[in-house]
Amino acid sequence: MGIINEEFDILLQDNIFTNTLNLISRSSTDDDICSIDNRILDRFCIDILPKIHHNVKYLILEPTSMERILLVSNYPNLTSLKLFNFEEHIALNYFTDKSIFQHIFKYQITELILENNDNYDYEEGIISSKEYNKNVYIPILTLFKNLQSLSIVGSSMLSYPPLSILNLPLNIFCSLNLTKLCIYVNSLDDCLYLLDGHLKQLTTFIVQIKNIHNNLSIIHNTDDLFNLECFSLTCYNLTNAYDNRVIPLFRRMKNLKKLTLYIRLANRSTFVDGTHLHKEILMHMSQLHTFTFYISSIIPYNDSFQLLVDNDIQQTFTNIGYYQTSCTVNYYRASKAICHVFSLPFTFDRLEMITNRFPTIIFHHVTYLQVFDKVQFKYKFFIRIAKAFPLLKYFTISSGLLSLIDFNKYEDDYIQSYPIIQFPHLISLNMMVENPYYIEQFLLNTKTHLPRLTELKLSYSHLKNVTKNFTRDATRHNCANIKQLIFCDECDYLTHFLHYFPVLDTVSYIKTIR
């Protein structure tokens, strides 16, 4: 504790430290680490916070320590609050008029950031979303009267329930103070509702939309959004409403200075390229100085279609003066083609429908990747993936192909000459495919190293085959840390199956292979 005390004494002399406190306790199963954390928290609450509470303007907390820290003082100058691992029960317990922190939340907090750790209940669907609106979104909008900046973001690939305006009382989301909003909504209608004049001072709007549909459920205001200077739209699900609904929204943003767009388009007649972006978006935004984008477009084609290649698409960006871009065109099915276009450097954390052909660049921010192709992915492809996506955490391999090799001969010495592929950050691997070759490739420790893999999605019969009925030592190492198994078929729960996964918590099933 002597070293810890000395560090605190130094920190107390630092003005920056007294303005912003990052008080996040580490969670660990190690009793020694936990006891040290508790002693640190004791020291903060007993010796440090009472001395500096009047200087604290920004608190970064987590739920386990939030109440104790906020009870130390009334923090008269606290205006910004960030909560990690936020869950529904926090709102139910603290974001109410009866909250013990009402005096802080109601009038002092002008900036609220919630890193959400709730998982959306897909079985419950909209019912869960309705409850979440009632228990989380309404209390936040009702209690925090002076918010100027509100950000609610997810902490993992599992999405928390989105905001659905249709499930809220009319005019609940109105504010004359809010200038920045970062939020996840259920539909484009919810996004349009927020831009209907309910947030008149909004200058920055960062929105992730679950679904963008063509059907219009309500009539929206179409006035220009003169105050909006920064807009970011992200939609991971495929949409066919881009031309009819998204482009008209962009046309309302006359004074936009910064635009970020991540969208996946289906059933268009042509690819989105530089010419399209200039004509439909850029030429209508005279103040725009930053355009960051990723757009994939899937189109049908036949024998009369003029096949385009990467250079054809790239030239359209050169023609409009956009040189920091990249693209790739793939004809991945007999009658389907996909084109990916994006700005450089690539700043998004997700990529889908990547085939054997992708640009030779490093995707430093991508943590989720889904690959698909009409030909089998070979060993060298996965070597490229490991190098191109160094921070990959979630990896999905999609293919309906059966094995192109004799699987019974594909033993761990089949490719001994190749180096072991390293995926140091991978925690979730989805291999619900017809081809057991990929399971062999990833589970053999002579081919792939997966030190952090905790979730595995695949066919039980394939897993049983590759592990030789859960007796194979060469696949045991990459299975050692798996906590969750998700199968698309029935399993027989043999005793040695359970012993093969020493830290296994849950086994579940999904109905379809995807």
Question: pLDDT tens digit string along 186-235?
Answer: 999 999 999 988 898 999 999 999 999 988 767 788 899 999 999 999 99
Whether the pLDDT of residue 125 is over 90: the answer is no
pLDDT category of residue 23 using cuts at 50, 70 and 90: low
Report pLDDT for 433.
85
Report pLDDT for 4.
38
For CA atoms 239, 245, 251, 256, give the dihedral sign: negative
Length of the chain measured in residues: 514
Are 210 and 186 spatial neighbours (Cβ–Cβ below 8 Å)? yes
**Rounded CA separation 312/324 (Å):** 16
CA atoms within 13 A on the CB side of 320: 18
Q: What is the mean pLDDT of the segment spanning 390-406?
A: 76
Question: What does the domain layout of the chain look like in residue ranges?
Answer: 228-347, 349-514
Report pLDDT for 416.
58
Which amino acid, one-letter code, is at 137?
Y
Report pLDDT for 400.
58
Report pLDDT for 350.
96
Report pLDDT for 13.
42
- What predicted TM-score, i.e. pTM, was given to this entire model? 0.89
**Rounded CA separation 320/230 (Å):** 22
More confident residue, 169 or 403: 169
Residue 484 forms beta bridges with which residues? 455, 506
What Cα–Cα distance (Å) separates residue 404 from each residue in 88, 376, 415, 458, 462? 48, 8, 16, 19, 15
**Residue indicated by tokens 């477009």:** 297
Q: What is the mean pLDDT of the segment spanning 6-27?
A: 46
**Rounded CA separation 294/365 (Å):** 13
**Rounded CA separation 135/129 (Å):** 10
Mean pLDDT check: name the lowest of 34-43, 94-103, 285-294, 377-386: 34-43
More confident residue, 247 or 378: 247
Whether the pLDDT of residue 33 is over 60: the answer is no
Buried b (16+ CB within 10 A) or exposed e, 307-328: ebebeebbebbeebebeebbbb
Report pLDDT for 124.
46
**Rounded CA separation 446/475 (Å):** 9
Per-residue DSSP letter, 281: T
Mean pLDDT check: name the lowest of 106-110, 121-125, 208-212: 121-125
| DSSP H or E run through 192 | helix 188-194
One-character DSSP codes across 68-98: HHHTS---TT--EEEEEEE-HHHHHHHSSTT
Give phi and psi for 149, each to the nearest 5.
Answer: -140, 125
Q: Which of 30-44, 285-299, 403-417 has the highest mean pLDDT?
A: 285-299
**Preceding amide of 419 cis, omega within 30:** no
**Residue indicated by tokens 């992200």:** 234
**Rounded CA separation 447/275 (Å):** 44
Report pLDDT for 512.
53
Whether the pLDDT of residue 318 is over 80: the answer is yes
Which amino acid, one-letter code, is at 67?
E
pLDDT category of residue 478 using cuts at 50, 70 and 90: very high
From the list 261, 262, 214, the residue with the least C-alpha distance to 240 is: 214
Mean pLDDT check: name the lowest of 25-29, 140-144, 326-330, 388-392: 25-29
Mean of the per-residue pLDDT values for the chain?
A: 86
Which amino acid, one-letter code, is at 365?
H
